[in-house]
Each structure stands twice: as C-alpha cells, then as structure tokens.
Structure 1
Amino acid sequence: MDARKHEHEVYDVSIDMEKLADSLSGELESLHPLARECSIYRVPEATRCFHPSHFAPRMVSIGPFHHGKEELKAMEEHKKRYLKCFLQRTKPSQSRADIALKDPNIPSVKELHQAGVKFKPGSSKNLLDIKFNEGILEIPFLTVYGSTERLYRNVLAFERMHCYTRYLNDYIIMMNYLVSTSKDAELLLQNEIIGLGNTEAVPTLFHNLDKGCAINYYDFQYSGIISDLQAYCKLPWHKWKATLKQNYFNTPWASISVIAAVILLLLTSIQTVCSLIAL
C-alpha cells in the first residue's frame, strides 16, 4: 500500500531563480562565438514529403522531454550559444529578460505636413536611406509595380533566414506608419517621392507587408529619425507657422487678401488713434 502511494506522490521542487540566472549568465559569457557562415533553413514540404525521416532532427532536443540523454549532450553548448545570440539581439537584462516592445508613435506624412515638415525625394539611390534634417524629410523615390509586393516578401523571407540586421523589415515598418492612408500617399505624390497615380496602392502595399514584420525597439535603424520628428512636431511654433502658410498663404490671391486685411486693420487703428487725439 505504501509503495503504491509512493508511486503517485507529487513532489514540489523549489528553484532559486536568481542563482539559476547568475549561473546561466556565466555559462553564456564563456561560450566561443559561432561562425557567421552557419545557417539553419527549413526544408520545403515538397522535398520533405518523400523521405520525412531523413530530415527529422536527431541531435537536438527542444524542451525537457529528452533532456540529459547522452547522445544529445553535444548540442547543449550550441543551444546556449543560440540563447546568448537571441538575448544580444533583443538586448534585455540577461538575468530577468525584461522586455520593453512600447508604441513607436511614428507620425504620418499628413501629421508631419501639418506640423510644418517639408518633403523631398532623397538624393540617394538606396531605397532605405530616409533622412531628416532642418525640417526636411528626405525619402528615396519609390515606384510600385504589380510585382513589388512579391519581390519585397521574398527579400523579407531571406532577411529572416539569413541576416542579422533586418534592413527591409525596418523600412517597411517605417513606411507603413508614414503612409497610413491615401492622403499621405497623395502628399508624397505631390512632392515627387512616389511615381504612381493610384495613391491607394502605396498604403495597401505597406499594410500588407507590415503584417509579417517585427519591430526591435533596441535596434531599429530609424529610431533617431523618429525621435527628431517627434521633437519637431512638439514645438508649437512649427505647427503655427505651417497652419498660417497652409490656410492663409497657400495661393497668391490668398496672400494678397491677408496683406490687404492687415493694411486695412492698421489704417483703421491709425484713424481711431487720430480721432482720440483730436478729442
């Protein structure tokens, strides 16, 4: 009876997480770097279906089920190395793996326009070379074709499988925020930054592509530009000046009307002052 009871007993195990984290951190620091040329790819289903056992993993155990088996111990060091690379890419605290992942709050083109930001096509031929300086946002010229989305998806897939830095991933996230509506695309079209009359196609392109992208807030290549844009938009003088220009000086006739109104106001004021002096 006691033996049967002993078989079904459940034991509580107490784990010192701080001690475990310190021990793991020390082991990660002592690992030798892995060659950048090494890559792991998923074999396509069309290839695997003929001999699935040939492609099944035989050396790596994920999770505790096979942990400790002698034939799998050779991969333990590599698993720790990959964990170290993951922690370095996301740059959390290695002891607690704290994640910040907050809203980047990137203003749209329309919002930037209302805040007084000017737009011009970038001089660089590099599509990713977005710049912001002295109130001018430079975006390299973009043309959207029928095959553009397919091309970008293939480059994104290559980045995820082979590259450490996700250049196109960050570009798509940035453009998805900037060009969120057709109004944003229309402003870029007016400033000769996009070469397409259908302004619905550009936001649709980036909305579709953004669904497969992930943002790393610790290593986002446009984080400096975003900070500068946010700081520029917060200054009331920029928005006031832009509003005055866009609403009252947007055409020559509007400018003449404003100037005439100001002159009339000055003359009326002078006349009032003279009348008071005569009294």
Structure 2
Amino acid sequence: MESNNTELASTSLKAKLSQLADAQSESTIYRVHRQLRNVNPKAYEPEMIAIGPYHHDNEHLKMMEDHKLRYLQQLLVEKNPLDGVGRYVAALERVEADARKCYADQPRSLTPAQFIEMLVLDGCFIVQLVRKFDKVNSRETKDPIFQMDWMINNLQRDLMLFENQLPFFVLCELYDLIEVPGQYKRFGFLLLKFFSILYPGRYCPLVPVKPIIDPRQVKHLLDFIHLNWFHHSSRPGKEKVKFIDTATRLEEANVKFEIRSEGGTLLNVGFEEGVMKIPPLTIEDRTESFLRNLVTYEQYFQHTSVTDYVHFLDCILDSSMDVEKLSRKGIIDNWLGDARTVAEMVNKLGDSVAGPGDSFVYGEMFEDVQKHCAKPMNKWRASLKRKYFNSPWAVISVLVGAMLLILTAVQTVFTILQGRCSNI
C-alpha cells in the first residue's frame, strides 16, 4: 500500500513539474503581481475593452462585445462573405494550444471553442480598428468609436495594458487572412500610427525600428510598442552613479536645462558642458498608466530602458518647484494642471519596482552631473543660493543688508572726509 502511494505521488509530482517547465518557458502574458498592482490598481485595469482572458468576465467591459461582433461582421462582408467566419476560426484553431500557453495564468475556465471564439473576436476587432483608423473613408458614418474622441483615447490606453493582451502571432494570423499575407511591416505601421497619440513625447517615430520578420519574435502589442519606441541595447554591467539631485538643486549648482529640440526617443537625455538636454514629455491622464505598464513589462522581461527613465524623472522631479522649472523650459508639457500632482505621480512610479541594475542607462551621465556639481565654484554657488537666496524674503534680506553695508561705508567715508576738511 505504501509503495503504491509513493508511486502515485511521484507520478503526480513529475507531471506537475513537467507542466511547470513548459509554462515557464512559453509564458509571455502575465497578471501584474500584487505588490506592484497595489501602488495604483487602476493603472493596470482596462476602462473600456477586455482583450484576452484575464478581464474577459468583467461586467463593466461587456458593452464592447457588441462592437467586436459588428467589426467582425464588417470584415466578413468586405473580405470573404462566402466563407463566413470559418476561415478565421480554422486559422486560430491551429494555434489555439500555442496561444493558450502564452498566458502564465492559463484560462482553464474557457473551453477550446470558447477560447478560439475569444481570439477571433478580440483579434479581428484590433486588426479592423487599426485599418479603419488609417483610412477615414473605410469608417461607417455612424460608427460611435470614431464619432467620440474619448472612445479612441480609452481604446489606445486599454490595448497596451500589460494584462490586456493577445499573442502577437494571433494578430498576424488574422492579418494574413484580412490583408496580403506576410505584410507585417505594413501592419506594424498601422499599429504605431494608431498608438502614436498615446506616445508622451513630441517626436513619435511611426516607422518601425526594424521590420518584423517573424511574428513570433514579438510577444504582444505592449512588447511591440516597447520594441519600436523604447528598446535600448543593454550596456556592460559596470557599477555607475544612480542618483542625482533635483532640478532645483542642480540649477543652484550651475546646471542649465534645455529642451532637446531635435528628434530621437523620449529616453534620449544627455549632459554636456553643464547643460542637460531633455526631450519634451507630455503628462496627461493616460501617461501614468502608459509608463507603469511599460515598467511592469520590463520587470518581467529583463529590460530596463523605461524603468531607468522613470528613475531619472524621479530624481529630478521631487516637488512642484521642479516641475514648474522644467515646464517653463518647455520640457514638461503639463496637461494635468497642478504641478504638485505631477510631482507626486512621478515620485510613485518607482514604488515596488526593482531599482536600476548594473547596466543603468544614465549611469555615466549621472556621474558627469555629480562631477560638475562637485566643482568648487559650483559647490560654492549652490551653497550661496541655498543659504541666502532660497526664498524671495531671503533675497530681500540680503539686498537690504547689502544696502545698509554700502550706506554705512559711505557714511564712514563721508565722516572721515569731513574730519579732514575741518582740520584744514
């Protein structure tokens, strides 16, 4: 009896270990872990549309299910009215098992048929949405999605959320049936054009950094956005400085801030000869969710570029005064209105996030900034400003003191000259 129990337990554990190994190697879509989610749960939750299984049953997202069906019907009428929906179902039935493995928290409550139906509806909606976004004349005159700006804004936000994803190869399978097969560079352009308004910088690159050759090289839409807008090659793991002072303190130490007016990505911050050049950053209602989901993505896939950028912002923007300084320079485009709100939002972006690693993108720049601030003249200048010019009243006190000193000196000189004249 004991040997039988031992054999059953061993067999069960071996099966579970085998499943675990497969899940670990193939998962690309995760749920946000609790510590990170608790900082701001709303930043990770869709407001309008559920894509994939994680938010599939949320009642407040059911409204969009009719829109998904309507877009599928339009595709069937436009592309293959004779074959009906069968072509899409058959194509995704072939990849259903692979698609299911992409979800770390596998959707066991959905049968294969239900899972395929979800993939078809969600995937066709995304493909049709970006096609219609590109061509105005392909939109129905009474399509509410394009009649109301808030719907497009919410869709742009929701479709890049970390948990709200389909495997990218599913989208490509459907795109092959809807458009010319294999034209993934064109598909990439349509996607980037759709998300371009969400990009929080002034110079949004619409052309992919590198053409997509194999759809399975891209995990999902958030990975696609990161690859084309925020991907940086990793640097050697050499320990570098990871903290600098706030914008206010740096300005006291003779650091000048300028807007980087030429192209380049949002991450393209530089420092040379006492001047820090920073690309313009627009901060609006969706910016926090956008940056949080990119940072979360990097926490799971060992990238650091956006995480390092957020750490840079956290260093230089500590108070409303810092935000206002950079806003006056045109570096911060504050659509939230309140500078304090922006500072608080930025300060919380790094909460529960693993800090900069050895390949910190801005390590060398931070080191150069600290060397500049440590120069005797700059240290003296910063100390003087903090001690005597840290508020309007302090400036007035210094000026009054200087005037009294000058008047005292003038009076002394006048007294001496008067005495000499009387002696003569």
Structure 1 partner of 2:313: 175
Determine whether 1:229 maps to 2:289. Answer: no
Determine whether 1:202 maps to 2:342. Answer: yes
Structure 2 partner of 1:117: 255
Determine whether 1:47 maps to 2:74. Answer: no
Return closer, same or farther for 1:39/1:171 CA change in 2, 3 Å cut-off: farther
Return closer, same or farther for 1:189/1:208 CA change in 2, 3 Å cut-off: same
How far does residue 274 in structure 1 lie from its aligned partner after superposition?
6.3
TM-score, normalised with respect to structure 2? 0.37
How far does residue 166 in structure 1 lie from its aligned partner after superposition?
1.7
Structure 2 partner of 1:63: none
What is the DSSP-based 3-state SS (H/G/I as helix, E as strand, rest coil) of the residue aligned with 2:346? helix
How far does residue 117 in structure 1 lie from its aligned partner after superposition?
1.6
Q: Which amino acid in the other structure matches residue 375 of structure 2?
A: L
- Is the CA contact (8 Å cut-off) linking 1:142 and 1:193 kept in structure 2? yes
Q: Aligned partners of 1:262, 1:135: CA distance in 2, in Å?
A: 34
Identify the structure with the greater helix proportion. 2
Q: CA RMSD for the aligned pairs? A: 4.2
After TM superposition, the structure 1 = structure 2 runs for residues 110-149 of structure 1, keeping only pairs within 5 Å, are 110-125=248-263, 126-149=265-288
- Is the CA contact (8 Å cut-off) linking 2:241 and 2:363 kept in structure 1? no
How far does residue 188 in structure 1 lie from its aligned partner after superposition?
1.4
After TM superposition, the structure 1 = structure 2 runs for residues 50-89 of structure 1, keeping only pairs within 5 Å, are 50=110
Any idea what the Cα deviations from partners look like across 1:37-96, whole Å, max 9, x if unmatched? x97425153624448xxxxxxxxxxxxxxxxxxxxxxxxxxxxxxxxxxxx99959xxxx
Identity %: 25
Q: Aligned partners of 2:385, 2:322: CA distance in 1, in Å?
A: 20
Q: Aligned partners of 1:103, 1:241: CA distance in 2, in Å?
A: 23
Structure 1 partner of 2:82: none
Any idea what the Cα deviations from partners look like across 1:192-251, whole Å, max 9, x if unmatched? 211113112322222232124323442101111111221222223124446469949x9x
TM-score, normalised with respect to structure 1? 0.54
Structure 2 partner of 1:77: none
Any idea what the Cα deviations from partners look like across 1:167-204, whole Å, max 9, x if unmatched? 11100011111112222112212222111131123222
Q: Aligned partners of 2:271, 2:412: CA distance in 1, in Å?
A: 44
Q: Aligned partners of 1:244, 1:233: CA distance in 2, in Å?
A: 13
Q: Aligned partners of 1:214, 1:113: CA distance in 2, in Å?
A: 29
Return closer, same or farther for 1:210/1:134 CA change in 2, 3 Å cut-off: same
Return closer, same or farther for 1:150/1:46 CA change in 2, 3 Å cut-off: farther
- Is the CA contact (8 Å cut-off) linking 2:260 and 2:280 kept in structure 1? yes
Q: Which structure ranks higher in relative contact order (CA pairs < 8 Å, sequence separation ≥ 6)? A: 1
Structure 2 partner of 1:13: none
Return closer, same or farther for 1:121/1:273 CA change in 2, 3 Å cut-off: farther
Greater displacement, 258-267 / 203-212: 258-267
- Is the CA contact (8 Å cut-off) linking 2:254 and 2:381 kept in structure 1? yes
Return closer, same or farther for 1:275/1:241 CA change in 2, 3 Å cut-off: farther
- Is the CA contact (8 Å cut-off) linking 2:323 and 2:342 kept in structure 1? yes
Q: Which amino acid in the other structure matches residue 28 of structure 2?
A: Y
Structure 1 partner of 2:353: 213
Q: Aligned partners of 2:271, 2:235: CA distance in 1, in Å?
A: 26
Return closer, same or farther for 1:178/1:45 CA change in 2, 3 Å cut-off: same
Structure 1 partner of 2:290: 151
Return closer, same or farther for 1:47/1:172 CA change in 2, 3 Å cut-off: same
Uncovered stretches (5+) of structure 2, i.e. residues with no partner: 1-24, 30-102, 112-233
Structure 1 partner of 2:159: none
Return closer, same or farther for 1:159/1:261 CA change in 2, 3 Å cut-off: same
Uncovered stretches (5+) of structure 1, i.e. residues with no partner: 1-37, 52-87, 93-99
- Is the CA contact (8 Å cut-off) linking 1:119 and 1:138 kept in structure 2? yes
Any idea what the Cα deviations from partners look like across 1:91-127, whole Å, max 9, x if unmatched? 59xxxxxxx8x98332111211222222221224421
Return closer, same or farther for 1:146/1:132 CA change in 2, 3 Å cut-off: same
What is the DSSP-based 3-state SS (H/G/I as helix, E as strand, rest coil) of the residue aligned with 1:210? coil
Q: How many residues align?
A: 195
Q: Aligned partners of 1:227, 1:117: CA distance in 2, in Å?
A: 14
